[in-house]
Amino acid sequence: MAPISKECDFLVIGIGSGGLAAARRASGQWGAKTIAIESNRLGGTCVNVGCVPKKITWNAAAIAETLHEAKPYGFNIKEVAPFDYKTFKHKRDEYVKKLNDIYARNLAKDKVEYIHGRASLLSKNEVEVRLDDGGKETIRAKKILLATGGHPNIPKIEGAELGITSDGFFDLETMPKRVALVGAGYIAVEMAGMFHHLGSETHLFIRHENFLRPFDPMIQEKIITEYERQGIIIHRNSSQSKVERGDKEGWLKFHYTDKSTPEGAGSVMDIDCLLWAIGRSPEVSDLGLANAGVKQDERGHIIADDYQNTNIDHIYSLGDVCGKIELTPVAIAAGRQLANRLFGGPDYANAKLDYDNIPSVVFAHPEVGSIGLSEPAAIEKYGKENIKTYKTDFTAMYYAMMPAGEKGPTSYKIVCLGQEERVVGLHILGQGSAEMLQGFGVAVKMGARKRDFDACVAIHPTSAEELVTMK
């Protein structure tokens, strides 16, 4: 075994959002000697191939949508050149690189020692780091945090490697002419919307009748109907059998079946981009978990409790590698609370993240927001007789000037429990839902009742006022 080259109080493996938050809090606020190890770019999935570049691209798609919707308001906008995706992409890359640099400076500011390399557990308190120059270091740590995140899955079918994943989406230099996306989660739905509004013929392949299936049925039904109205082609009950290179350079032949395929037959589509969005797996393949005895679940996720403890004393884990709630703000909050508990003294001895009522948003077109239980989940948990829902569908004033066939939907649902009608679920779809949900999320987190919503005077004219005037 190599000699110990460094020792520390807190060793963080994986400097995505959660690892970064934990390392900075432990060192910067509590003075723990902290070493952070990352083998890729600082910031993890969110900053590099997730939330940040995704939202920038969504903004571009939303601008394209607005330009289309401007004519009914009296604007006659002449497009003198097509959308310059290549220039947009490079500016987006520059912004992400700037964030990478900011994170490096923040680590230095908080006196976190940063090592770029690939880490693997040797035991419950020792880690080997394979450095970029081929060298190795062995670090002994009193406490270790595993926050290595995850990676996109690719199916086991012939030619699957010819497609890209959500990571590869951000490497595209041009928008494809015809794209096939496979998946039914929020990544597939978001990217389908972006491709479509930026000019690609967009085909979305899903295994069942609806997508976003963990969300409330209202959300599922409304968003899939709206996507079809906009011109996104949904292939329901689909499966894929093979991908091969096409007759033209850069094109593929995509073999599939869907609801419309005759029994015993198959279909082939020529596409110039295939994107797999079929889920993610934890980044643990060479982490050395067995060397320390760290337990995993059947999908490979590290098992950690609500305090981020693994089954091994002094080894902790959080974020996507645990597979609990795979959202950036969840990892950040969990990381800060863990650092508080480990190094903040008696006042923080029981610090942990409360995993109940965490708001989430899908940046679809239109946006979707959700917090708490869906109506079916609430009924399953509390019984149908104890649940009352309030629901409204309407056309937002933004669409007042538009022809009937071009008006987008707005739908809200409040799920209430018991005689006091405590709000246990809130589900919204429509323009501005992301920003709107953050404020209403505070109310739900505080245990607001329907009558508390009703007692708030409406802001008029807004879509949000419907949430405080619903009957």
Any idea which residues carry the catalytic annotation? 460
Burial 97-131 (b: 16+ CB within 10 A, else e): eebeeebbeebeebebbbbbbbbbbbebbbbbbee
The phi, psi pair for 69, rounded to 5°, reads -85, -5
**What count of other Cβ atoms lies within 10 Å of the Cβ of residue 307?**
16
How many alpha carbons fall within 13 Å on the CB side of residue 123? 10
- Cα(358)–Cα(214) distance, rounded to whole angstroms? 14
| Residue type at position 466 | E
Q: SS3 string of the chain?
A: CCCCCEEEEEEEECCEHHHHHHHHHHHHHCCCCEEEEECCCCEHHHHHHCHHHHHHHHHHHHHHHHHHHCHHHCCCCCCCCCCCHHHHHHHHHHHHHHHHHHHHHHHHHCCCEEEEEEEEECCCCEEEEEECCCCEEEEEEEEEEECCCEEECCCCCECHHHCECHHHHCCCCCCCCEEEEECCCHHHHHHHHHHHHCCCEEEEECCCCCCCCCCCHHHHHHHHHHHHHHCCEEECCCEEEEEEECCCCCCEEEEEECCCCCCCCCEEEEECEEEECCCEEECCCCCCHHHHCCCECCCCCECCCCCCECCCCCEEECHHHHCCCCCHHHHHHHHHHHHHHHHCCHHHCCCCCCCCCCCEEECCCCCEEEEECCHHHHHHHHCHHHEEEEEEEECCHHHHHCCHHHCCCEEEEEEEECCCCEEEEEEEECCCHHHHHHHHHHHHHCCCEHHHHHHCCCCCCCCHHHHHCCC
How many alpha carbons fall within 13 Å on the CB side of residue 411? 17
